[in-house]
Amino acid sequence: MVKRGKKRAVKVKKMKPRKETMMGNRHASRRVIAIVITAVLAVLSFLIIKPYIAALLFGIVLAFIFFKPYKLLNKLIKKSTISSLIICLLVIAVLALGVYFIAQITVREAFNLYMSIQKLDIFDLVNKAILTIFPDSPELARQITLTLQQGLVSLTNSFINQVGQFMTNAPQFFIQLFITFFVMFYFLKEGKSILKYVREILPFSSEVNEKLIKRSQDVAHATIYGQIIIGIIQGITAGIGFYIFGAPSPLFFTILATLLSILPFVGSWLVWFPLGLIMIAAGDVTSGILMMVFGFVIVSTIDDIVKPFIVGKRARINPLIVLIGMLGGLVMIGPIGLIVGPIILEYLLIFMELYRTGKIKLAI
């Protein structure tokens, strides 16, 4: 009887590892199934929000920009829903009206500019200006002038087509605007809760989580205020010069100067400098020279004077990263990519640095 008991005891001991193995396999298979289901749901969710991802990101960016005004208003009203609603209505109303009127005026000015280009003998005007610099190279002057003329006509045509397409897609624009409004409203009202949730779901240590969140805020601040806001200020300043010195189609060239000012290594000088040369070649020498002086002295120094006050010492990011991120983001998801692109590249650099220093640690 004792021997049988021992045998049974031995058998029981042999069965335990098998049960543990079976439980481990079952747990691993459930984990794999959960990961697969989560991945499938994530892909399906992305496909659902893909048509509106630009509007979603734009709403988040607007909430980030206007969070301080929301906090000030909420201190007075003490009702987060009403405060968020007021800020959103004001911002969306200004954006909608501004885009509508600017689009109409820009289409008209771009068309007038196109007609002026067709009537004006640009070859003769610019050719004279180039020959004064390179008197022994008439063929070079002709090629440069012809290239500039074709490029300007092509740019004007493209701009008219884009704005015209925007006007025809007005219903889709208002749908995107509604989504932007809703996202902005929710992120203003529940910003702290969302940030807390993000901290909880990030799979890294608290140190890494805080670094990622702080860096994303700093890069967004530097990109929005250091590049976009200052670029808009430079473009508007250049536009003031266009109006003062009588440049042709001033609104059109103001918008073009603003877009170029936003990009690092580019700048509005690509607009006001050639425009000044064209005005000089057209016979308006004094205005052309004054406009170029205005550009060198006033417009070009805005970045050095205004940026320290707006940005301060936060988020010193490489201008090359900003340029590549802006251009890549613009191609990938449209205008909002000007902000999102640099943030994504900065995240990559942060992860590479944390991996190099061995600071990436999973929280579990």
Nearest to 215 by CA among 354, 50, 21, 56: 354
Q: Which residues contact 359 (CB under 8 A, 6 or more apart)?
A: 205, 207, 208
Residue 1 confidence (pLDDT) above 50: no
Task: Taking residues 6-34, report their average pLDDT.
Answer: 61
The band of 102, judged by pLDDT with boundaries at 50, 70 and 90, is confident
Cα–Cα distance measured from residue 25 to residue 32, given in angstroms and rounded to the nearest whole number:
10
pLDDT at 97 over 70: yes
Residue 306 reports pLDDT greater than 80: no
- For 120-139, the pLDDT digits (tens) are 555 566 666 666 666 666 66
Which residue reads 């509106």 in tokens?
Answer: 52
The pLDDT, as a whole number, for residue 311 is: 60
Distance separating alpha carbons of residues 68 and 224, to the nearest angstrom: 15
Mean pLDDT of the chain: 75
More confident residue, 215 or 44: 44
Confidence bin at 12 (pLDDT 50/70/90): very low
Lowest-confidence region among 34-43, 137-146, 286-295: 137-146
Rounded CA-CA distance 102/119 in Å is 25
- What are the extents of the domains in the chain? 2-44, 53-201
So what's the pLDDT on residue 18? 60
pLDDT tier for residue 208 given thresholds of 50, 70 and 90: confident
Q: Is 356 exposed, middle or buried (0-12, 13-18, 19+ CB in 10 A)?
A: exposed
- Measured CA to CA, the distance from residue 13 to residue 22 in angstroms comes to 15
Buried b (16+ CB within 10 A) or exposed e, 247-256: bbbbbbbbbb
Q: Which tens digits make up the pLDDT trace of 222-271?
A: 777 777 888 888 888 998 999 898 887 788 788 888 888 887 767 788 88
Token pair, residue 282, equals 């057209």
Residue 152 has pLDDT above 70, yes or no: no
DSSP 318: -
Whether pLDDT at 142 is above 60: yes
Q: What's the CA gap between 340 and 329, in Å, rounded? A: 6
**Shortest CA distance to 206 belongs to which of 364, 52, 320, 336?**
364
Nearest to 336 by CA among 326, 346, 344, 345: 326
Question: What tokens were used for 24?
Answer: 């481990």
Are 335 and 224 in contact by the 8 Å Cβ rule? The answer is no
What confidence tier does 162 reach under pLDDT thresholds 50, 70, 90?
low
